[in-house]
Every structure is written in structure tokens, then in C-alpha cells.
Amino acid sequence: MSKEILKMVCCSTLGLAAYAMSNQALAQSCDPASATSSQWDCVQYQDSRGGLDLTYHAAPTNQWFGYNSGDTSYNLQLTNGNTDNGFIFYGTNVDLVTPLITVSCNLALKGQLRYEPTSTGKILKIQVVDGGVTSGDTLCSGLTLGGFPWWADTASNFSASGGFPQSSNVHPPATGLAIGNIGGTIKVTHPLLGTICDGGTMEDVEFRNGNPISDDSSFTFNNTITGTSCGVDGILYSEEGFDANAW
């Protein structure tokens, strides 16, 4: 073997070894028993588009993703058939507080996740891409949500570069929670009342995986949209067979 070929083989071998070690360092560990409080160890999801399947899959990296049932009863605003990528979280008897009306409605929000593991840290990002209000009090059916996308952040960076750094993970996985803010151009309108809310930040929104973690994940809203006279008070849960966990 010539020196040139030997050199090429050695370089290729070293490169593959470095690549493998890098991927191993960034690999997810989805065993709750080995979860740490210092980083996002695992992001996983279910996908039952082909029939109910409660298997959890490791999240893809560096891309927005999400899956849902395609149920059209959620009255989402921006999608045709509600089948675009995104996990749907749904709650009944959610209180929507505005300066003009306070109503108890069924609320659905569709969001996408993005898991970005790097050699210096792991970031979880959330964007809300659609939402709908359905049955409940008389005025619920006329309410429309808009201004999407909304973004989640631990502070106020409401953009694609915001998110939850590794130190803000859910720990322990089944009983812990992550707290963040959701903002952007949050709008609530009604055909008779016009624009009721415009802007503001939903602060201290709580995310939980469920206990045990195979239970539905949830977002809890605390009745405040800072910067407005509006609020949301209630809990939204993931769809059966389309759960998403993160810890």
C-alpha cells in the first residue's frame, strides 16, 4: 500500500471515529431512571396517523416537527383539514378572559417542537402555529385566534432563536415541570366585538409530561396575558396517540 493511500485510509478512519464519538455524545437517553437535571436528555413523541400506536420515537434533530389526528372539530384557523405538521393540545372549559367578555370554551392549540443538541448544550424550541376555539358558552364559537406563530421562551425572545436551554429541562421526568413564556402577536377577535386582545405575553406557562410519562402531556395557563386585559385559565392535553415528552 502506498504512503498516499495509507494516509487517506488513516484520515478517513479518524474522521469516522470522530463523527461516531460526536453522535454518541449528542445521542438521546430516554430512560427516565437515568435523567439528569442539567440538560435535555430526551425528546420523544408518538405518531398514530396510521392507527393507534403508543410507541414513543426519538425526536429528529434540528427541524420543526409534530403530528396530529387530523380531527377537524378543533376549528383551527390556518390549515385545511388540520393535518399540517404539529401536535394538538386540547382542553375543555378553558376560561378566556377579555375586557368585554369572559367565557368558558373548548380551546385547541397546535404547536411544533424543535430539538437542537450541540456539543455545548441542548435546546428545546416550541412554536404555536395554529389555534381554535369551539363549543362552550354562547360567544365561544365566534372567537378567532390569530397572529401566529407564537413562540415559547424562558425570557422574552419570541422568535425562532428563542427556546428552553438545557438547564430548564423537566426533572424528574414524571413529576417535574418546565416553565416558560409564550408571546408574539397574540390576537383574539370576534365578528361582533372586533379585536378583543392584541399582543401581550402569556407568562409562566407550565409544561408537564404526565405521571406516569405515558399519560398525556399538558400545558397549564395561569390566566394572565401580560400587557393586555386578557387571560387564559385552563389546562390543554395532548391527543391520544400523539403525545410528546421532553426531559
pLDDT of residue 84: 62
Provide the pLDDT for residue 135.
87
What confidence score (pLDDT) does residue 28 get? Answer: 83
Closest to 237 in 3D by CA, of 58, 94, 72: 94
Whether residue 217 contacts residue 11, with contact meaning beta carbons closer than 8 Å, is answered with no
Residue 1: band (very low, low, confident or very high) from pLDDT cuts 50, 70, 90: low
Q: What mean pLDDT is predicted for residues 193-210?
A: 96
pLDDT digits (tens, 9 = 90+) for 131-175: 999 988 999 989 999 999 999 999 999 999 999 999 999 999 999
What is the average pLDDT score of the chain?
A: 88
Identify the sign of the CA torsion 42, 63, 131, 157: positive
Using the predicted structure, report yes or no on whether residue 25 has a pLDDT greater than 50. no
Other CB atoms within 10 Å distance of the CB of residue 25: 10
Find out whether 123 and 40 touch, Cβ atoms under 8 Å.
Answer: yes
Q: What is the 3-state secondary structure (H, E, C) of 9-59?
A: HHHHHHHHHHHHHHHHHHCCCCCHHHCCCCCCCCEEECCCCCCCCCCCEEC
Least Cα distance to 44 among 201, 166, 54, 34 occurs for 54
Integer Cα distance of 226 and 45 in angstroms: 31
Look up residue 83 and give its three cell numbers.
393535518
pLDDT score of 9 more than 60: no
Every domain of the chain and the residues it spans: 31-246
Q: Give, as one character, the DSSP assignment of residue 240.
A: T
Distance CA 66, CA 86 (A): 4
Averaged pLDDT, 186-209: 95
- The string of pLDDT tens digits covering residues 72-114 is 899 998 765 455 689 999 999 999 999 888 999 999 999 999 9
Record the pTM.
Answer: 0.87
Average pLDDT rounded to a whole number, residues 201-222: 97
Range 27-35, long-range pairs (CB < 8 A, 24+ positions): 28/58, 28/59, 28/117, 30/56, 30/58, 32/172, 32/173, 32/174, 32/213, 32/247, 35/171, 35/172, 35/173, 35/247
Q: What is the model's pLDDT at position 21? A: 33
Helix (H, G, I), strand (E, B) or coil at 214: coil
The helix or strand, by DSSP H or E, that contains position 147, with its residue range, turns out to be none
Determine the average pLDDT of the residues in 209-237.
Answer: 96
pLDDT of residue 83: 53
User: What integer pLDDT is reported at residue 27 of this predicted model?
Assistant: 63
How far apart CA 19 and CA 13 sit, in angstroms, is 10
- Binned at pLDDT 50, 70 and 90, residue 44 comes out as very high
For residue 44, list its beta bridge partners: 58, 245
Band of pLDDT at residue 18, cut at 50, 70 and 90: very low
pLDDT tens, 67-82? 999 998 999 987 654 5
